[in-house]
Each structure stands twice: as structure tokens, then as C-alpha cells.
Structure 1
């Protein structure tokens, strides 16, 4: 009887959702990504104060995205084998150093070095932060990942406000205020790291059990195929997101005769509602299934995305809001799906999917910019509107139920 009660208590503890940890790691994700948002927000300031060319600004953005994206799966793979709880505050300390350098850098090359420090900090934070969300999730993995990811999306959506309220009046040295934000994040992450360190024994036990289950199942080919499909889906979503967030403002200026400031409203609506969609997607996936929500996020957004280039200025705001909610509802869900697809490699899968989103967004920005130069802005936005249709490839993914049978 006592053993039965002990097992029931242990099961309840393992499946308990730790909201305090989730909200704290979500807040740190907001702070981390708001630091990253400072960099593109500072472009107009750097262009005026240092006379940087668009090529140099593009190189800064490319460096940030590639360092943070390429390093994420590498960090995740290493920490899957050698967990380092205090990597979280160390990563944000790197971003703090980079932000200090960004505020005081006198030339382009020191700005680039500062951006590398910020990118490295982000590369360490994202897979480890996602692992913390996984460990604190209990039996609500979709909700947990949504709470974590919505912090990041909210931080990215702050870029227009950062530009208007801080960087325009204060200039380059306004970035000094963000070293304080980084320091706050380091303090919170130190607390989380202590909790994380206490979970290591449980992590090692679960990892050992998961590894033995994987060896018992000859499903490696199906898993690899599913990962390739998932990566392609992330590619489609990232490229469409890059098309809207980087170039729709120019489209709105040309087609609706707007000012630069007014055009930013469209981007803010898309990003802010995308954060709402990111939050909603997780709990919906817990109820209706990961694969179903991934499919819905593309199928639901596709007709609206195709319609967007042909509507007026006011209806475009409505469409961007709805597209943002629907298309980004799969952001956290794709991470959870990948984690459950390969449950023994939580950090690797988190780094791969989230890092890939950043990397594909960076490459997509360059490619779409080239298309605009070659074919025109309107034509490129029309072509980009068909990208969500690639989400129908989700039908090739194994169902949630099938994945569960692989690891029983």
C-alpha cells in the first residue's frame, strides 16, 4: 500500500506544472529577445551617427542571426550530454558585455564584435531556456513551451517601441539602459539555474530510460524523415515571417502612401498578434494534438496570406492581425513536437528548431531582398504570400498517437 501511495505521489510531482519557473523563464526570454531587438532598432541611429552603408547594416543583422542560430543546436547537443545549469546566467552575462560594447563602440568593427557577444548569449540561452520549460512543464508541455516562447515573441515585438522611446532621443548610448535589463535577467537566471541543478539527477534517470526505449525501436528512418519535413515547415514559416517583418513596411509605404512611422504600425500588429498566437498554440496543442495545430497554422493562414497583397490599408491591418495569430500558433508547438519526436535530446531539438527559425529568417531576408531588386517589391510580396501553402506537408508528419507508440 505504502509503495503504491509513494508511486502516486511521485507521478503527481513529475506531472505538476511549475508555473513560477515557467513565468520566470518566459520573462527572461522577453528580456533576452528585447536585447536582440535593440540591434535592428538601432540601425537608423548607426546609419546617421557612423555613416554605415546598408551593406554594413545587413552584415550586422546577418552576423547576429547566424551566430545565434548556428550555435543553438551545438549548445543543445553539448548540454544534452553535459548539462550546465549555470550556462543560462553566463549566456546573459555575455549579452550584457555585448550590449555595453554596442553602446560605446566607436566604429563598425567593434559593433560587429559586440553583436557576436550578444549572439553567443542568445545561442546559449534559447536551448537551455527551452529545456527549463520542458522540465517545469509537467503534463502541459504545449502550455509550458508557449509561456516560454511568447516571452521571446513579445521581446521581438518591442523593437518599434525601443526605437521611438529610447534610441531616437538618446542615440547609440541609449543602449546602456539595456545593460541593466541584462543584469536583471542574469539575477533571475541564477535563481533558475539553482533549481535546474537540483533536477539533474532526475534528468539523468529519465534520459537513461529514454535512450533504452529508443534502442528498442527501429524507427530511426521514420524519425529522420519527420525531422526533414518539420525543418521544411519551419523554413516556410520563417521566410514568410521575414517577408512581413522586414519588407511589408516598404510595401505599405508604396501602396498606401504612408509615412515610415505609420508603416511600423503594420509590423507591430503582425508581431504583437504573433505573440498572442504563440501563447494560444501551446494549450490548444495539449488539447487537440501537436500535428493538428501545426497543420491548422498553415492551412488557416494560407488563404488570408494570398489575399493580403490585394486589400486596402485598413483591411490589411485586420488580415495581418489574424495571420499573425494563426501562423505563429505553431511556433512553440513545432518545438514540443520535435522534443517528443526525439525525447532523449531536448536541448538539441530545441536548438535545431528555434535556431533554424532564426537562421532561415536571416537567409530569407537576404534572398527576399534579392528578389525585390530583381522582380520588384509587389511581385515579391505576392510570391511570398504562397509560402504558407508549403505547410500542407504537415500531412506527411506522423500523428501524435503514432509517436507515442514508438516510445512505449
Structure 2
């Protein structure tokens, strides 16, 4: 079965957005990414406990992000051909095991194994969850992806706050309490899997109905060129995000001499801003065009990013809000734009872009950690401030709006 030949009439699809499933997937994404965000959130704790340097912190992030990224395109490609309704619950099982081992890790290498298990769970989760959001979208793909991403980014913002309240005062072993979140997610994802299994049965029953096709009429080379540009934009976004998610707490502690708890609260403000901005990109792209959203969300971050290294503590807290909100609006628009460039490969595209995003975050964290060790954490933030300027290449993307056939 191919996705491009088994979907019901486009007008009917637009009326059948399944919001309970979208909200359930979004909430499970919140739970998943709350757990994922615990990894960088506990860095200040484990750095002191095990006397780690910034390079080792970067390697932990690299291991975590590579495990969370390498399998995603393969998972997405496989599930495009053979959808797996219960793969999300299975992936969360890996995360659960990783959480338990992380709570009892006694050294650097045991910690690497633990974060690799958590990353593997994420690698299984994201492509198929994105496919299920697409299936429940009723044709409103940008909105569906934004709702899905909203949960993930909200979870990413909650993690550091929970770390400040629980892990910092009570220590590394308190991570095990978050296994309750993983168990709750398994229950929800099993219910979503039941819905998706029924959806696939209904889809097969409707085979031969009028198709809702996205056609771009571009040559293979033009599509490849556009995908390359999108991946470069992902590189700029997630390298810059790596500087903030992995090292922002250290930057605040080093430059302003704040406590670990205070630095976690500032990280929460940034990540909450990311969550708030997530919901903008998808629906605005549905209405006005994804290319314009992508352009604004990358390049529009640049003025605030360039000011950040020169700001005092108060203005640092102010600037990270527009940085987070503007930058966050990009991913949903980029993902749906890419899925429209390559119709019928929803899982593959989701796996490629989620995987590449996580991989760039991991590589960026490792390289920036090495740079911080050889220079200073302040220097890292001065250099990374220029990354959003790469957004100017969005101008080379082809216009695909107005080419939808129904």
C-alpha cells in the first residue's frame, strides 16, 4: 500500500481532523521530550559529581543525539511501507530502561549507555508519531505538526524546571521517579496505536477513492536542491539551539554568577518561549505559505541573537523570549514543506528531518563543548550569534504554494 493512492476525498479529509488523537500524540510528545530534556538539565549535577569537563559533557550529548537521530530515517522509511501502530509504546519502553539505568549510573561510560537507550526510544518515537499526526490532520498538515511539536517543546521546557526542583536538590537517583512519566506515556501510546490500527483498516477499505495529491511539478534536481537548503537551515537552527540548550546554564553561571537553580529557571524561560512559538509556524504556513514562515523564523532570530552576548542578566532574560519564539516557528513549516516536496514519504521525511535535527544538535554540542574548553563559554555565545544569518538562503527555495490538487 502506498500513501499517495489510499486517501479519501480531499474535501472530506479537511472535515475529519481527529483532535483527540492529535492532542493525545501531542501530550505523549510532551511526556517523551520532558524525559529527553532531563539529559542536558542534569549536566550541572553530573559535571560536579564525576568531575567532567565540557568535552565530556559534549560527548554525552553527542551520544544521546546520535542515538536519537541515526535510526530515524530507517524507522520512517520502514513504517511508510509497513506502518507499526504499537511502535511508539515500544520506543517508550527503551526510554524507560534508559531512565532507570541513568538514575543508577556510576560513571561516565555507564551514563553514555543510559543516554543512548533514551535516545533510541526517541528515534523510534518521532517518525511514526509524525505519521500518526499526519493521518489525524484531516488535510490541515501544518496545524497537525504544530500541535505535535507544541507538546514536544512544552516537554522540553518542563524538564529543566523539574530538574531544578527534584534532581538538583535530591541528586542523580531521583531521575528514577520520572519512570512514572514513561509508564503513563506507554499507556497513552497504546491507546493511540489502537486508533491508528483501526485507521489503517478503514484506509484500506476506502482504496480507490478520489485522491488528495500534493504535486510540485519540480525536477528531481530542484527537489534535491531544496532539500539541501532545508537541511542547511536545520543545521543553523540546531547548532544555535545546542549552544542554548546544552550550555546556557553554564553561560549564566560563568558570566553572572547565578545559582544552578536560577540558571535552570532561565533555561525554562527560553524553552517555554520555544514551546509558545511552536504553534505559530504550522497554521500560518497553511494559510500564507511555508517559505515565508521559514524565512522569518530563521533570519528573524538574528538581531536578537547578535545582541544576546552583550546583554546584562535582565536583558538576557528578555532577549531569550523572542529568540525562542521566532526560532521555534521554523520546524513545523520546514517539515511540512519537505513532505510536500516529496509526497507519499511522510515517515521517511519526518525521520530524515527529525534525525538530522537531533544529529546536528549532538554534533553542535560536542564541537561547542570542545570550543568552550579551548576558549571560553562566553566566546562560544559570541560565535553562535551569527548562525541565524544563514537563514538568508531561504530565498533560494522554490515556491510550492498553490500547486495542490484536490
- Whether the 8 Å CA contact 2:57–2:366 is kept in 1: the answer is no
Cα gap change, 1:8 to 1:49, in 2 (>3 Å): closer
CA distance in 2 between partners of 1:89 and 1:378 (Å):
41
Q: Which residue of 2 aligns with 1:267?
A: 267
2:163 is matched with: 163
| Structure with the higher fraction of residues in helix conformation | 1
Distance 2:163 2:296 in 1: 34
Alignment of 1:307 with 2:301, yes or no, is no
Deviation digits for residues 225-266 of structure 1 (CA, Å, limit 9, x no counterpart): 110000000000111111222333333344434334333333
Equivalent-residue separation in structure 2 for 1:141 and 1:211 (angstroms): 12
Tell me the CA shift for residue 165 of structure 1: 1.8
Aligned-partner SS, 2:151 = helix
- What do the CA deviations read for 1:270-306 (whole angstroms, capped 9, x no partner)? 2110111111222221221111111111232222222
Corresponding position of 2:127: 127
Q: Distance in 1 between matches of 2:10 and 2:286?
A: 22
Q: Partner of 1:250 in structure 2?
A: 250
Distance 1:327 1:180, change over 3 A: same
Is residue 207–residue 344 contact of structure 1 (8 Å, CA) maintained in 2? no
| Cross-structure match for 2:225 | 225
Stretch moving more, 335-344 or 263-272: 263-272
Closer, same or farther: CA 208–168 of 1 in aligned 2, 3 Å = farther
Partner residue in 2 for 1:340: 340
Q: Do the aligned residues in 1 keep the contact of 2:161 with 2:268 (CA within 8 Å)?
A: no
In structure 2, runs of 5+ residues without a counterpart are 1-6
Residues 30, 151 of structure 1: 8 Å contact kept: yes
For the residues of structure 1 that align with 2:40 and 2:255, how far apart are their CA atoms? 24
Structure 1: 5+ residue stretches without partners: 1-6
The answer to whether the Cα contact below 8 Å between 2:143 and 2:282 also exists between their aligned partners in 1 is yes
| Partner Cα distance (1:304, 1:108) in 2 | 36
Shift in Å, 1:26: 0.4
Residue 327 of structure 1 deviates from its aligned partner by 1.2
Alpha-carbon shift at residue 100 of structure 1 (Å) = 2.0
Conservation of the 8 A alpha-carbon contact between 2:58 and 2:365: no
CA–CA separation in structure 2 for the residues paired with 1:125 and 1:45:
28
| Distance change in 2, residues 1:79/1:9 (3 Å) | closer
Supply the distance in 2 between the matched residues of 1:151 and 1:233 (Cα, whole angstroms).
22
Whole-angstrom distance in 1 between the partners of 2:319 and 2:53: 34
Q: Supply the RMSD in Å over aligned alpha carbons.
A: 2.9
Kept in 2: contact 1:211–1:344 (CA 8 A):
no
TM-score under structure 1 normalisation? 0.88
With over 3 angstroms needed to count, the CA separation of the structure-2 counterparts of 1:172 and 1:206, relative to structure 1, is farther
Contact 1:226 1:397 in 2 (8 A): yes
In structure 2, what is the equivalent of residue 399 of structure 1? Answer: 399
- Name the CA distance, whole Å, in 1 between partners of 2:288 and 2:213: 29
Deviation of 1:125 after TM superposition, in Å, equals: 0.3
Aligned to 2:387: 387
- 2:39 aligned residue: 39
Taking a change above 3 Å as real, the CA distance of residues 237 and 9 of structure 1, as seen in their structure-2 partners, is closer
| 1:8-407 equivalence runs, <5 A | 11-13=11-13, 15-47=15-47, 49=49, 55-201=55-201, 219-401=219-401, 404=403
Distance between the aligned counterparts of 1:187 and 1:124, measured in 2? 16
How many residue pairs get aligned? The number is 399
Secondary structure, in 3 states, of the residue corresponding to 1:190? helix
Shift of 1:375: 4.6
Does structure 2 retain, via aligned residues, the 8 Å contact 1:251–1:378?
A: yes
Q: Provide closer, same or farther for how the CA distance between residues 173 and 359 of structure 1 changes in structure 2, counting only shifts above 3 A.
A: same
Classify 1:260/1:110 alpha carbon distance in 2 versus 1 (closer, same or farther; 3 Å): closer
Find runs of 4+ consecutive structure 1 residues off by over 6 angstroms. Answer: 7-10, 204-214
Quick check: 2:105–2:111 contact (8 Å CA) kept in 1? Answer: yes
